Amino acid sequence: MQYFESHAHYDDRRFKEDREELLGELLPACGVNHVINVGCDVKSSQRSIRLAEKYDYVYASVGIHPHELYDISSQTIETLRELSRHPKVVAIGEIGLDYYYDTHPRELQRFWFRQQLRLAEEVKMPVIIHSRDAAQETFDIIQSSAVREGVIHCYSGAAPMAVDYVKMGFTIGIGGVITFANAKKLVEVVEAVPMEHILIETDSPYLAPNPNRGKRNDSRNLKYVVKKIAEIKNMPPEQVAEMANQNAKSLFFKGFL
């Protein structure tokens, strides 16, 4: 099977010791044929681009995560605009709202979320959305924007809202949480959302699926995500992996196809 990893952070320091072995050998050997390495601030966006330059199958996104708004300014948006021009940058993200930790004031989060959505609209790129404990506000802000392409990463909302996102033009990112025993709500999401609108992801190094929960995650664990989705959808795992692959290519590689 071939796997499209739609969300990972291989520039993270937790991959310092074996990053080259993973990206250069182990992931391709396990059928991982594409990786989107996702930026969370300017520096990680730049590191993502460097990884994309080094490995043919790795691509980058650029954006400011709601946890990383410490010194953001209009100049930061211009820097992201410049970075987005790189030929291997395929999305604006990870952007959104996080009210779980409330690292930054909510109004500040909302303002810069809107600014980055506007940037995505201007550069005509899909978005990678982070939303935690802010489901309705995230949805409302996206709906009020002109952006209609992207993925709701590590989706944690209810099934009806996931269906509404799909109607708006978005895809739903499903990761290791789907394998957890307490993932009833996410199982309902996978049941409700057509496979044509689902992407698979790991969010490496975070959120490793069962049976590796609690360990550092990497894209070799996509097989467990695919297996669980296949069980829920009553589909062969090979079909789930292939459809997720095509879904991700249609979203991120539209300008390449």
Mean pLDDT over the full length of the chain: 97
Strands 32-38 and 3-8: parallel
* pLDDT tens digit sequence for 73-83: 999 999 999 99
- The CATH classification number of 3-252 equals 3.20.20.140
Q: Is the confidence at residue 257, as pLDDT, over 60?
A: no
Per-residue pLDDT averaged across 25-35, rounded?
98
Q: Is the confidence at residue 183, as pLDDT, over 70?
A: yes
Domain locations along the chain: 3-252
Instruction: Decide if 224 contacts 176 (C-beta within 8 A).
Output: yes
CA separation for the pair 49, 257 (Å, rounded): 20
Is the peptide bond preceding residue 149 cis, with omega within 30 degrees of 0?
A: no
Instruction: Give start and end residues of each alpha helix (H) in the chain.
Output: 19-21, 27-29, 42-54, 74-84, 106-123, 135-144, 159-168, 184-192, 222-233, 237-252
CA angle 227, 231, 237 (to 5 degrees): 45
Length of the chain equals 257
pTM of the model: 0.97
* pLDDT at site 143: 98
CA separation for the pair 132, 237 (Å, rounded): 29
pLDDT tier for residue 144 given thresholds of 50, 70 and 90: very high
Q: Is the confidence at residue 256, as pLDDT, over 90?
A: no
Q: Is the confidence at residue 138, as pLDDT, over 90?
A: yes
* pLDDT at site 255: 62
* pLDDT tens digit sequence for 33-86: 999 999 999 999 999 999 999 999 999 999 999 999 999 999 999 999 999 999
Per-residue pLDDT averaged across 153-163, rounded?
98
Per-residue pLDDT averaged across 102-122, rounded?
97
Q: Is the confidence at residue 9, as pLDDT, over 80?
A: yes
* pLDDT tens digit sequence for 211-224: 999 999 999 999 99
* pLDDT at site 254: 83
* pLDDT tens digit sequence for 236-245: 999 999 999 9
Burial of 135-167, coded b for 16+ CB within 10 Å and e otherwise, reads: bebbbebbeebebebbbbbbbbbebebbbebbe
Q: Which residue, 170, 234, 231, 224, is CA-closest to 201?
A: 224
